[in-house]
Chains A and B, each alone.
Chain A
Amino acid sequence: MNYLIVGNSVAAVGAIRAIRELDQQGNITVVSREKHNVYGRPLISYLLGGLITEKRMSYLPDNFYEQNRINLLLDSEVVAVDSKGKSVKLAGGDTIPYDKLLLATGGDPFIPPIEGLTDKDRIFTFTTWDDAAKLKGISADINRAVVIGGGLIGLKAAEGLNLLNKSVTVIELADRVLSSAFDRPAGKIVARKMKANGIDVITEDTVVRIEGEGGEISGVTLKSGDFILCDTVIVAIGVRPAAAFLKGSGIEVNRGIVVDNSMATSVKDIYAAGDVAEAADFFSGQKNPMPIWPDAYIQGDVAGTAMAGGAKDYEGGLAMNSIEFFKVSTISMGVTNPLNPAEYEIHTYQDIQNYQYRKIVLQDNRLVGAVLVGNVDRAGIFAGLIREKVDMTPFKDSLLSPDFGFINLSKEIRSRLFGPQGKALLSGRAEQAVGH
């Protein structure tokens, strides 16, 4: 069996481990456009800000590829998929055949058409290790930076530059930062903390023109007419599934590559996982891209299992983010900002002065979302309750309590989770380990 994986990030790792659990013999080839072994993509802002060294970028020990007998092709881009001939074509012209193909190409940064953008030198995106390294390389020359986009990636870039003592202005089109991941009060707390640390945040405005002579940037002009002085611009509007190379392959692509609950695409023997895929949402079952790290791992695991002949059903993507800005921890999961609040039961507690906030969202007595700011301890208990669709009717009163835990739930739940009763005894048989 010849497995071919395009992309060498977390979805690929989930898939490699799943394949190797079921098939130790098959050949696995991984092709990646980047020149690095798998690394913690979300760590690039830590690298830029000097919080970690390059050594800690590695997501896994270097012997991972050898141990799993991976044929790794770095610095190679797949430019086309021939699903009839079952092969892919590389930018260099070579073709690689496959029996089972996984597309785990993640997202490409989206660059909007802004006047003056194409002919300037110091315009950056911020999604790869090399992006962070380039910015760090010229950081001595940066005085003032403008970050276009106040989503997770934009704020992370802003934080990294702020840690290097650069003056940074974030420009966001919506009325607040982090509008997709967080609700209003949580977004406000983050914005407040950023301002307190010297990052300017401008909302409900956008950059219409990048000003300057030749390749040099002198500033940006906003839609409101304001002018912001800067010498460097980071474009962080968002990422789009990296699926452009699939044109003509016959694979169904909507916003992302459309997949079923085993991560199979519309074409036989081709799978997709991670940021590039469009899989079912946990609540609605509707297909959406879910560009978060944990989900990319899970989708990779489901895809790898199916590719190696096993079966694991994808439970549906559950949005979750844990973001720490300037020592304020924020965790959000599930439905946090419903469009039609009347259909939900919402409980909140806030103490904005002390950066504390808690929001619990229920629907039909089931927990569907939570936002925690400040005290985020044991937040995962809420994720478990959402996934298990536990009837919360008897436990609602305790949900906002800062030390909410299993003691607030029923004895039956506690003993199912922690008790020895009825647990299978695997005496004499070693359990299969998932680690490598």
Chain B
Amino acid sequence: MKRIYSIEDACIGCHLCEVACITEHSLSKDPVKAFLHEPERPISRCTVEEWDGGVVSISTNCRHCDQPDCLRACISGAVQKNAQGVVMIDTEQCVGCWSCVMACPYGAIQRNLARKKANKCDLCPDRQSPACVDACPNRALVYREGSQK
């Protein structure tokens, strides 16, 4: 399957991937509306980590694992892997127990505390290529066929 890979040396720490992710998962798909006017701002599914004020940075994201630890840990069945290999959370079914947060070795699941629901990358089902990849100005994120490990 196609996965998102992250090239640390090309990452400039601008966080535009996070902005794009938040926008893509908002109601309006407009960054200004998403950040200012919508009742609830989505949580970014990718996480830019920085060290030493941004001298080193990398955007980390879900690997859509072959044997997802999040899926195996989920007590409600909310996490499933679809026929294309995309690992998704059914938000209705999720009970906010954070077992998936405990299990994911990539730190790729976020907690939506206001709604008590887990949140994760869905590879942007409405797009050709994920919003974070398209938004990266220095091509630090690539989307291509490849393995998890």
Contacts and interface: CB of A to CB of B under 8 A. Distances in A.
Given A376-B101, A380-B105, A433-B84, A419 B69 contact: no
Interface string B4-34: 0111100000000000000000000000000
A388 to B, nearest CB: 8
B145 A320 contact: no
A245 interface: no
A383 B105 contact: yes
Given A405-B49, A408-B51, A433-B85, A331 B102 contact: yes
Across the A-B interface, give the 7 residue pairs with the lowest CB-CB distance, nearest first. Answer: A384-B105, A435-B81, A378-B107, A420-B5, A407-B49, A380-B104, A59-B77
20 contacts: A40-B77, A41-B75, A293-B99, A294-B73, A294-B99, A329-B98, A380-B103, A380-B109, A383-B103, A408-B51, A411-B56, A414-B58, A415-B8, A417-B60, A417-B106, A418-B6, A419-B7, A425-B145, A425-B146, A433-B1
Interface residues of A, number: 58
B102 A320 contact: yes
Interface of B: 1, 5-8, 47, 49-51, 56-58, 60-61, 63, 66-70, 72-73, 75-77, 80-85, 92-93, 95-107, 109-111, 142, 144-147, 149
Given A40-B75, A297-B72, A414-B8, A331 B98 contact: yes
Interface in A29-85: 40-43, 46, 51-52, 56, 58-60
Interface string A339-381: 0000000000000000000000000000000000000111111
A283 interface: no
A127 to B, nearest CB: 14
Contact of B5 (A301, A378, A384, A418): A418
A415 B10 CA distance: 12
Nearest to B48: A407
A301 B67 contact: yes
A4 interface: no
A425 B144 CA distance: 9
A322 B49 CA distance: 25
A324 B97 contact: yes
Contacts of A294: 69, 72-73, 99, 103
Interface of A: 14, 40-43, 46, 51-52, 56, 58-60, 293-294, 297-298, 301, 320-324, 329, 331, 333, 376-381, 383-385, 387-388, 405-408, 411, 414-420, 423-427, 430-431, 433-435
A274 B101 CA distance: 21
A324 B98 CA distance: 8
Contacts, number: 168
Contact of A411 (B8, B69, B103, B106): B8
A418 B80 CA distance: 22
A435 B82 contact: yes
B56 A407 contact: yes
B137 to A, nearest CB: 18
B48 to A, nearest CB: 9
A293 B5 contact: no
Contacts of A377: 101, 107, 110-111
B1 A431 contact: yes
Contact of A427 (B58, B63, B80, B145): B145
Given A43-B95, A298-B72, A433-B84, 18 more contacts: A14-B72, A52-B95, A60-B77, A324-B98, A377-B101, A388-B105, A405-B47, A406-B49, A414-B60, A418-B5, A418-B106, A419-B6, A420-B142, A420-B146, A423-B147, A424-B146, A425-B145, A435-B81
